[in-house]
Each structure stands twice: as C-alpha cells, then as structure tokens.
Structure 1
Amino acid sequence: MTQPGRSIGVTEWLRDLFAGVGELPLALLTQLGDVWFLFLLAGGCYVAFSTSTSPARRRRGAFVLALPIVYIVLVSAMKGAFELPRPPRAGVAPTIPWLPTFFVPVFENTATATGYGFPSGHAIGTTLVWGGVGLVLDRRPRGYRTALVAGVVGLVAFSRLALGVHYFVDVVAGTAIGLGVLFGLYWLSARGTEPGRVFVVAVAVGVVAVLTQQSFDSVIALGGAAGAALGWYGLVDNEVSFSVTRTTVALSLTVFLVTVVGFGVLYVVQPPLPLMFGVSVLAAALVVGVPDVGHRLARRVEAS
C-alpha cells in the first residue's frame, strides 16, 4: 500500500482548502475522538450507569469503559505491525498569527500528529467508544443513536483529513476496524452484560502490542488493560450493585481524583518503566473499581 494509494488526493485537497482559515476549528473538532475525551465519555457513562439499581446497566456501563482501553492497545498493536507513515507535513502545525502565545503549544499538540499513520487511531477510537455509547443507551430511538454516532465519526474522520495528519485510506480502514471490533466485542460480551470478557481481550491485545512495538506507551497500555481486568474481577464483579449515599459519592470522587492526578504526574515524570507499569495496573484497577472502593470505605466510616 503506497502513500499515493492511501491518499487518492483527498488529504492534500482538504488541507489546502482549509489552510489559514479552518485549522483551529478542526483542531477543536478532532478532540471528539481524542483519547482524553473518549476516556471522559466512557468514564461518564460508567459512573452514570453505576448509580443504577440494575446490575445489568452497571455491567453495560463497564462495557463502554472497556472500549477506550481496547482502543489504546489495538492501535498500538496495529500501527507497530504496519509501520506506515503519515503525510509529510503531519507533524508541522500551521502558524496562526492572532492566536495568544499561551495557546500555541496546545494548538500545536491538537493540530499535529507523529508516529505511524495506518490505521487512524482517532477513527478506531471514535467508532468504538461513541458506537458503544450508542449501543447501551437503548432508551433513545435507534435511528437517533445511529445518526449521532455516524455524525461524530464522520466529523472526526473529516477533521483528521483536513488537518493533514492522515491519508484517506487510514480513516476508512480505521472506521471499518472500529465497527468490526465493536460488534465483535458486543457479541462476545453478551450485548455488553459481560464486560469482563472485553477486559480480558484488552489484555491479550496489549500483549501483542508490546511484542510488535515495545515502547513506553504500549507497556503502560498493557498495564492499564491488566489493571482494568483485575479491578473488575477483584473489586466489582461480585458486587455490581450497591446503595448510593453522599458518603459513598464523596469517597469515590476522592479516590478517583487522587488516582487520576497521581497517574498523570507520574506519566509526565516518566519514572522507570517497571514502576510505571505497576502504577498503570493499580490506577486502572482503582478507576474500574472506584464506586465499589468508595462504597466499602463509606460502610467503614458510617460504622465507626
């Protein structure tokens, strides 16, 4: 698959069309498929479903939470296997003279991309996570959910092309892979009610990712997948429903914030890889099990 064949001229045409006028809106639009937003979306769904009195909804929320984890390890494995480059100017941000200096680094980070280009991680992740949310939100009409997911996936894919960070074939392949993996996992997990199976799949793919591309991020992704599986089976699976109190919510939020902030600080510092792997396992386990951890802590506080 040559670069001209992957592009068919679409990337160049769109990038030239939006040059000088559309880069900032495109950079904002592409965040709908960025990893931070996908984890926020999946985590929000998980938290919302965790407050339900129905164990099945809690499990379906966990199914959605597992999807961005699968996305991370899957993209790492596939890009390491194909090793196909991005468009030549993918790592160069356009200059916007009126943009305040404070926002320039943020814009450059969102409007550019480095590393291998095939398949598009944004296309895979957007299709997986937004599609997963559409599957579990079954209280909305199917047509509405389908249109919403298709619209978001289309906009994110368009933004990746117009920013010049992917070839046309990259986003088409990413969308197709995302759809195939999503429905495969939905079937494997009995319509999202057995999310533990998805966590196990994430661990297996994470091992492949490390074997194909041993890097800091791939090792952390494997640790996160392993921690999520341990968190589900060790902290959640035997107690998928519980009473929600103010103490439970407060303690759960505290555990979550300490975990996320602590992990973020260590990720920036980048300690030795074995240590970071262990931190990833612990952080993912706590995030998956945080409602249950908060509930158990609350029972002890209220009993004392």
Structure 2
Amino acid sequence: MQLFPNGRGVGVTETLHGLAEWPVVVLFGLVTQLGDGWFLFLLGGTLFVAGEEFPVLGVDRRRALFVFALALTYVAVIGALKGFFGLGRPPGAADPPALAWAPGALSALLERATTADGPGFPSGHALGTTMVWGGLALVVDWGTARQRFGAAAGVIVLVALSRLVLGVHYLVDVVAGAAVGVALLGALYRFADEGTDPGRVLGVAVAVGLVGLLNGLTFDSVAAIGGALGGWAVWRGVADSTPAHPTHRREIFAGFGVLLAAGLLFAALEAFEPALALAFVGTALAVGGAVGAPLLGERLV
C-alpha cells in the first residue's frame, strides 16, 4: 500500500516553480542555504566555540552543543526516513536553471544551490531548519520568547517556501519535514534536560545512525553514523574538561582554527566520496574535532 496513492503534488510546487524567473530562483537558492546541512553545522559549531561571546545569540557551551547535536541528529534522521520511504522529487528537480550569464565556478555553485536529487520525502531542509533554528529559539536569551520563536518560524517558512519555488519538493514534503522536526525538537529538548545535557542528543544521533544503516551502506549512511559516533565519543571524553565559558579571545580564535580544519576535512569527504571505511573514519574525525574544538583551542593557547 502506497503512502500517497494519488501522489504528493497538489499543484503548489508546479505553480510557484513555473512562475519563478531566474532572479527569483537565484534569490531562493540563497535563502535555502539557511537550512542546508553545511550552514546548520557552521551555525551550531560557531556558537559552540564562541559560547557567550557569540554576537546576540551567545549562550553557554553546553546549550550551544545541544544546537550542534540537533544538526547531527537531523542528518541521521533524514537519512533514515528518506531511505525508508524512497519517494522521489518533482520532475525536473535535478535540472539546473538557465544561467548562461554566470561564469563557470559561480554557475556550479548556483546549480548546487537550486537543484536536488535523491529521495524527496520528507524535506530535509524543512526538518533540519525546524530542529536547529527552533533549538536556537529554545536556548538563547535574545529578546522575548515570542520574538525568538517568531524569528525562527520566519526562517522555517522561508526555507520551506524556497524548496517549493526551486521545484525540488512537494508541499507534502516540507509540511511533513517541519512536523517531524517540531516533534523531535520537543522530545529531545526534554530528554536533554532543557538543552543542558547535549550528550544525550549525541547518543540519539548514534542510535538513529545505526538504524539508518539498515537502508543500506552508502556514503551518506556511513557518514551519518561516523559523524555521530565521533561527536559522541569525543564529548564523553572532554565533557568535564571543556570550559563552559571562553576565558579570552585567543582561545576562541584557536578553537575556530580547529573548527575550520574539521570543516575542510568534512567538505573534502563530501566532494570526493571516498571508500566507505575512509568516509566513516574521516567523518568521525571531523565531527569529533568540532566537538573538541573549544578544549583544543584552550590547550593551544
């Protein structure tokens, strides 16, 4: 029995994508980056290293790691769900827009930002944006609760809309992604003692990553479990030693250097997709390095 016997298209994606000229496509290609995996990891990792010194959104490092752990869990969850359902994307989702005016390098970046392939249900961007930006609204002290959740909701709606305008998801996909994100965020926030015990969320990411392997050994599934295990194992070793608050800016800059190295390693793995064993070890090192960045930054200076 099919989950959606009559299909997931209700005409919204076709209408929005059909009306979008190239300037609109490029604009929403940029907007959608607010929910892309690389940006969510960068946001969580930077907040974790900077701690309370992060502009406007500064928070103690345990709560910041909770946000980073949400990004890890999102990757594991979306991989498991998409592998289970195996539902495709709208026709033409992988076709790049006509951008003959753009030079080669820029054209390649825009193509990556405005297209998608692989399974489409539920929307990973909608799920990840809901979890990470919603998690930020839960733990930071900026403004009032209404302002924080209003801002988070605005980002979630914009990212979800961008997936429809770009023609890479159906409306059902983004609604389901956001709904799953809300449910997971609420459960994980309670499970992590209101965000103060991020190790529990890292453990959930490991468990979900193991389930994701049941869909098959692919680069994505192996990278998800490798990253989750690396982050969880390193945090178990450094949780009591990691300073909750930065002591000086040199420590933060050194931590950013470690985070940058971890990010470059992860980017290289994604670009070249090496053998599965190397992908597992590499992602474990990359995420483990990110989790250990504040302590390494302190030791380096």
SS at match of 1:113: coil
Q: Matches of 1:240 and 1:4 in 2, distance apart? A: 54
For 1:106 and 1:45, locate their aligned partners in 2 and report how far apart those are by CA, in whole Å: 26
Aligned partner of 2:31 in structure 1 is 29
- Mapped pair 1:62 → 2:75: no
Figure out how many residues of one structure are paired with residues of the other and give that number: 295
| CA displacement, residues 54-94 of structure 1 (integer Å, 9 cap, x when unaligned) | xx822111101101101111110000000001011111112
Q: How does 1:167-186 map to 2 (within 5 A)?
A: 167-186=170-189
Query: Quick one: which of 18, 24, 32 aligns to 1:16?
Result: 18
Write the mapping of 1:119-158 to structure 2, written as runs, cut at 5 A. 119-158=122-161
For 1:301, the equivalent position in structure 2 comes to none
* Aligned-residue identity in percent: 45
Q: CA deviation at 1:258?
A: 2.7
Equivalent in 248, 255, 261 of residue 258 of structure 2: 255
* Distance in 2 between residues matched to 1:61 and 1:136, nearest whole Å: 8
CA contact (8 A) 1:248 1:294 kept: yes
TM normalised by structure 1 equals 0.90
1:114 partner SS: coil
**Contact 2:79 / 2:212 at 8 angstroms: preserved in 1?**
yes
RMSD: 2.0
CA distance in 1, matches of 2:104, 2:279: 33
Note the 1:274-285 alignment, pairs <5 A: 274-285=277-288
Say whether the 8 Å CA contact 1:69–1:225 is kept in structure 2: yes
TM-score (norm 2): 0.91
Letter in 2 for 1:40: L
Mark the CA change 1:8 to 1:100 in structure 2 (over 3 Å): closer, same or farther: same
Structure 2 gap ranges (5+): none
Matches within 5 A, 1:129-278: 129-241=132-244, 244-278=247-281
Residue 201 of structure 1 aligns to which amino acid in structure 2? V
Structure 1 residues 247-256 or 173-182, which shifts more? Answer: 247-256
- For the pair 1:291 / 2:286, whether they are aligned, the reply is no
Rg: which structure is higher?
1
Contact 1:50 1:241 (C-alpha < 8 Å) held by counterparts = no
Q: Distance in 1 between matches of 2:254 and 2:43?
A: 21
Deviation at 1:242, TM superposition (A): 6.0
Q: 1:202 to 1:50 in 2, by over 3 A?
A: farther
Q: Separation in 1 of the partners of 2:91 and 2:106? A: 24
SS in 2 for 1:7: coil
CA displacement 1:98-138 (0-9 Å, x = unmatched): 33343211111111100000000000011011111111113
Q: Aligned to 2:8, what secondary structure does the other structure show?
A: helix
Which structure 1 residue ranges, 5 or more long, are not aligned?
299-304
- Separation in 1, partners of 2:5, 2:13: 11
